[in-house]
Amino acid sequence: MSGQIKIKDRDAIVQALRAGVVPRLGLPHIQVGRLREVEEVIRDIDRVAEGGSAVRLIIGEYGSGKTFFLNFVRSVCLERKLVVAHADLAPDRRLHASGGQARNLYAELMRNVSTRTKTDGGGLTTVVERFIGEAKKEAEAQNQKVENIIRSKLISMQELVSGYDFAEVIARYWSAFEEGNEQKKAAAMRWLRGEYALKTEAREELGVRSIIDDASVYDYLKLMSRFVRLAGYDGFVIILDEMVNLFKLVNSQARNANYEQMLRIVNDVLQGSAEHIGFYFGGTPEFLMDTRRGLYSYEALRSRLAENTFVRQGMVDLSGPVIRLQTLSEDDMYVLLTRLRHLFAAGNEEKYLVPDAGLEAFLEHCSKKIGESYFRTPRNTIKAFLDLLSVMEQNSAIKWEDLLGSINVSTDSAPENEDIDEEKPASSVANSSETGQQEKEGDDLATFRL
């Protein structure tokens, strides 16, 4: 392992890991194991880039690394010249609804659109302007008006649901761009992000008769996948985490409506009806397998997502839509600790705070103290180890042998499945959303105590 790490990057990654959340940068510094899962993801991405589609459910316990894996998928997609949109589901963000929650999810996805040059979200404007830039090049080469080229390129979108209005908004953005009218450009981007709640408002500002609403979210995601291709990218990938929020819905009718929307996505992908688009969903085992409220409660989804019956203990089949995150091996955990030690030292081997013998002792301690769960939930082990290094960094006289004899690594229980009541007032929903975010960032954290 070699290579210096910028102190700024090192601090950002360590701070996120110690808080129990996934860092937004530097994932290759700490990625270990799960080689076969990564290979499957790369195959998916290649298929999307070649004109196909993919759908995957990433299933794992709290703290098992679902969010980390989804962020790794995101980084691979960006490297492969795909556009990625990601969001977490919440009480006010769902796949299907009648009170604006589905449109909220779409708006969140569009705010978080990322490209290779715009990795932290806010990339939708980049995609639109790249499309316009390509159209300008063609217009100059063919000695035609840019607007004519734009409209001719967008004709293929008009065959899709709401494609005419989508194309019209892009054309309006170009005209505003030419005029230098920032207000009209902002209105076009607002429409593309799904931020109009009233059709009359959109008609007055843009002259279009439709808006992105709860009923049309999936249709517009398919439109966006077609558009990013026209802009010169290889495909569009949507990443949705915290799918357990659908499992928590109390109202069975609302829950089934969301599962029906998932079924539509799965059918489109498995039947080959979708092009240049991929979906990744992150959820817990109960979200998938619970026969009363999980995906398995919806028979059509259960039949499509059921595991291969020939798979026995010790075997895996990653060719289906479901990827269960496998437990890290002891060797994987050792490699992970070496990477964390290297990261904490900012890539300088001379500044390692713990020798190899200390890594082995730490693993042995974890194995005795919390047993097999430290393999299943690497988040606990990561946090405890970084806490150990932090104490040693700030107390140079202390030796790792002294600390390992007195630490206590404890695992909090997974957050309870708090039901989401359809009848909650807006203030309660907002509080529930905040609580859900806190759960996501704090569940199953290990504590390090002297």
pLDDT digit string (tens) for 379-399? Answer: 778 888 899 899 999 998 888
Sequence length of the chain is: 450
Give percent above pLDDT 70 in the chain: 87
Which residues contact residue 380 at a Cβ distance below 8 angstroms, ignoring those fewer than 6 apart?
Answer: 63, 370, 373, 374, 409, 411, 444, 445, 446
Task: Name the least confident of 11-15, 87-91, 175-179, 361-365.
Answer: 361-365
pLDDT in tens, 302-356: 999 988 778 777 677 788 899 988 777 788 888 989 999 999 999 888 899 999 9
Task: Name the least confident of 42-46, 114-118, 161-165, 376-380.
Answer: 376-380
What is the pLDDT at residue 73? 92
Residues 254 and 378 in one domain: no
Residues 21 and 85 in one domain: no
Q: Is the pLDDT of residue 58 over 90?
A: yes
Task: Count the Cβ atoms, other than its own, within 10 Å of residue 329.
Answer: 12
Residues 309 and 433 in one domain: no
Rounded-to-integer distance, Cα 253 and Cα 300, Å: 16
Average pLDDT over residues 177-190: 93
Residues 6 and 68 in one domain: no
Question: What sign does the CA torsion over 212, 269, 113, 378 have?
Answer: positive
Task: Name the least confident of 161-165, 171-175, 223-227.
Answer: 161-165
Q: Is the pLDDT of residue 373 over 80?
A: no
Residues 339 and 290 in one domain: no
DSSP class of residue 121? S
The residue whose two tokens read 């529930």 is: 432
Rounded-to-integer distance, Cα 347 and Cα 338, Å: 11
What is the pLDDT at residue 421? 63
For the chain, the average pLDDT equals 85
What is the pLDDT at residue 123? 95
Q: Is the pLDDT of residue 172 over 80?
A: yes
What is the pLDDT at residue 434? 44
What is the pLDDT at residue 422? 59
Residues 239 and 309 in one domain: yes
Residues 224 and 183 in one domain: yes
Residues 13 and 41 in one domain: no
Encode burial over 248-285: b for 16+ CB neighbours within 10 A, e otherwise: bbeeeebbbbbbebbbebbebbeeeebbbbbbbbbbbe
Which residues contact residue 364 at a Cβ distance below 8 angstroms, ignoring those fewer than 6 apart?
Answer: none
Task: Count the Cβ atoms, other than its own, within 10 Å of residue 339.
Answer: 17
Last residue of a domain, one of 327, 352, 387: 327
Residues 263 and 118 in one domain: yes
- Between 350 and 423, whose confidence is greater? 350
Residues 150 and 224 in one domain: yes
Rounded-to-integer distance, Cα 178 and Cα 74, Å: 34
Q: Does pTM surpass 0.95?
A: no
What is the pLDDT at residue 418? 61
| CATH code for position 245 | 3.40.50.300
Confidence of residue 411 (pLDDT cuts 50, 70, 90): very low
Residues 393 and 270 in one domain: no
Number of domains in the chain: 2
Q: Helix, strand, or coil here: 45? A: helix
Rounded-to-integer distance, Cα 399 and Cα 392, Å: 7
Which residues contact residue 393 at a Cβ distance below 8 angstroms, ignoring those fewer than 6 apart?
Answer: 344, 353
Last residue of a domain, one of 304, 327, 350: 327
Task: Name the least confident of 126-140, 261-275, 353-367, 407-421.
Answer: 407-421
Residues 262 and 146 in one domain: yes
Most confident among 63-72, 83-92, 325-334 (mean pLDDT): 83-92
- Residues spanned by the domain of 135: 34-327
Structure tokens at 222: 């398919």
Last residue of a domain, one of 327, 354, 382: 327
